[in-house]
Amino acid sequence: MDKTDTIAAIATPTGNSGIGIIRISGKDSILIADKIIRSKGGKKTDLIDKPSHTISYGFVFDEDKCIDEVLVSVFRAPKSYTAEDCVEINCHGGMYILKMVLEVLIKNGARLAEPGEFTKRAFINGRIDLTQSEAVMDMIASENEFSRSNSLNQLKGSVKEMIVSLREELLHECAFIEAALDDPEHYSLEGYSQSLALKIGSMTEKADRLIRSSKDAMYLKEGIKVIIAGKPNVGKSSLLNMLLGYDRAIVTKEEGTTRDVIEEKISFDGIVLNLIDTAGIRNSENEAEKIGIERTWENLNRADLILLVLDSSEDMNEYDRKILDFIKDRKALILLNKNDLETKIEDIRKISDHDLISISAKNNEGMDMLKLKIKEMFYDDKLSDNDQIYLTNIRQLNSFIKARESLGLVKEAVDNHMSEDFFTVDLMDAYDELGKIIGESTDDALADKIFEEFCMGK
């Protein structure tokens, strides 16, 4: 990737719309745009002389051929998205038109941008850090108010400020230790170990709180993977339809009709549920059903929450008990379906500690209680969409957890009365891990991978 050439890409989604935007960035972006933008009569509009943050009216020309009527925005470095000279051309939103304009720009010296290259240039040019870069895509992908608000806070630099502050504290301690070891006449280490232990203790407490709340917040951002499980004909597909509010899955009296996973997504009270209806668990000779049952177990192993559906009008059998045993140490809710019929099932409380909810998927009963229980399990009332900081990016959270582990090793070294020069090893490890979060100590390969996941034109 050449960081000095001028790039261009369509910045709006594929498909026809009222308006489409083409973004250009680089040292020659205004010059290239100036070559193709003219007045209605074909005269030059002199974009090259326009001040920053202005909009000009004109037409895109390919030599003598007029292509489209446009508005052109000019943003001069460093006050632009990439911190380079940028131009945005607002065209009519047909894909054919947008591609024609893009081709004219490339013909006149621009290069087609790679995915995420605009944001990567903003990162390389120091306008944003890596957490803000990732917040751009999180903002685009947000599906609820919490996700949007949290992404916006990161985009404003909330995570960056916190990480920079922590790194400064760690660097200060390392610098003091090095100074004291090099110049003991002017810097005393007497009582320093105890002082450092108190500081590290405070840091780790705050880190632990952040890690816990961030893990909970991750569910609000990514959604909860919910597996609907049970033996055949207990009402799993009916439950899926009830949750969705429409008939997504086929429901019949015949056993084993669901032979593959069915995935859908719903949202309530800001919580996203990634619902997966699975094949009923039993012994089967049907090849397709056997594969479906294998996939059921695979999904159960990766579930955030299991909804075990039992038929309250029947006694439990070996398959019910097998799933009950499987969910023993997992997050799960037991749904006693068909409450409109005579209850025959034994008292589940004798063999399971999981919460029980009486429902009738057929009559749409029990929905409110089910939602309430899910909210209690995954939504901490302390989580909010205010300015509190959450690490809802798994890369960031993993690096923060490693930094927390290094701080724990510093505390161990103090408790074991080790020499002060040992402290700096783990202090600097924590410093480096925190640096990875904001991109201060991230290798090029990782940065490339992060930006490759961005959409074109962003």
List of domains in the chain: 7-128 (3.30.1360.120), 134-218+388-452 (1.20.120.430), 222-378 (3.40.50.300)
Helix (H) or strand (E) holding 440: none
User: 10 Å Cβ neighbour count for 116?
Assistant: 23
User: 10 Å Cβ neighbour count for 57?
Assistant: 12
CA separation for the pair 277, 275 (Å, rounded): 7
pLDDT of residue 52: 96
The β-bridge relationship of strands 356-358 and 332-337 is: parallel
DSSP code of residue 458: -
Q: Specify whether the CB–CB gap between 296 and 279 falls below 8 A.
A: yes
CA separation for the pair 376, 327 (Å, rounded): 18
User: In this predicted model, what pLDDT tens digit does every residue of 25-62 receive, in sequence order?
Assistant: 999 999 999 999 998 877 888 899 999 999 999 999 99
- Residue 395 tokens read as 């890369």
User: Is the pTM of the predicted complex or chain greater than 0.85?
Assistant: no
Q: What is the 3-state secondary structure (H, E, C) of 84-114?
A: CCEEEEEEEECHHHHHHHHHHHHHCCCEECC
pLDDT of residue 288: 64
User: 10 Å Cβ neighbour count for 54?
Assistant: 12
pLDDT of residue 45: 84
Angle (CA) 77-79-84 rounded to 5° is: 35
Averages of pLDDT over runs of 10 residues in the chain (458 residues) are 82 88 96 93 86 96 93 96 96 94 96 92 92 89 82 91 94 90 82 90 92 83 86 83 73 52 79 82 64 76 89 82 86 87 75 86 85 82 63 91 95 88 91 92 70 71
pLDDT of residue 62: 93
- Exposed (0-12), middle (13-18) or buried (19+): which is 225, by Cβ within 10 Å? middle
Rounded (10°) angle between helices 158-182 and 130-141: 160
Single out the residue of 203, 211, 215 nearest to residue 409, CA to CA: 203
Rounded (10°) angle between helices 367-378 and 236-244: 80
pLDDT of residue 282: 67
pLDDT of residue 2: 55
Q: What contacts 229, CB < 8 A, 6 or more positions away?
A: 236, 278, 281, 296, 300, 306, 307, 308, 309, 323
The β-bridge relationship of strands 224-229 and 332-337 is: unpaired
Number of residues assigned to the chain: 458
- Residue 213 tokens read as 């709340």
Q: What's the first-to-final CA gap in the chain, in angstroms?
A: 16
CA dihedral in degrees (322, 325, 327, 333; nearest 10)? 80
Which SS3 state, helix, strand or coil, does residue 53 take? coil
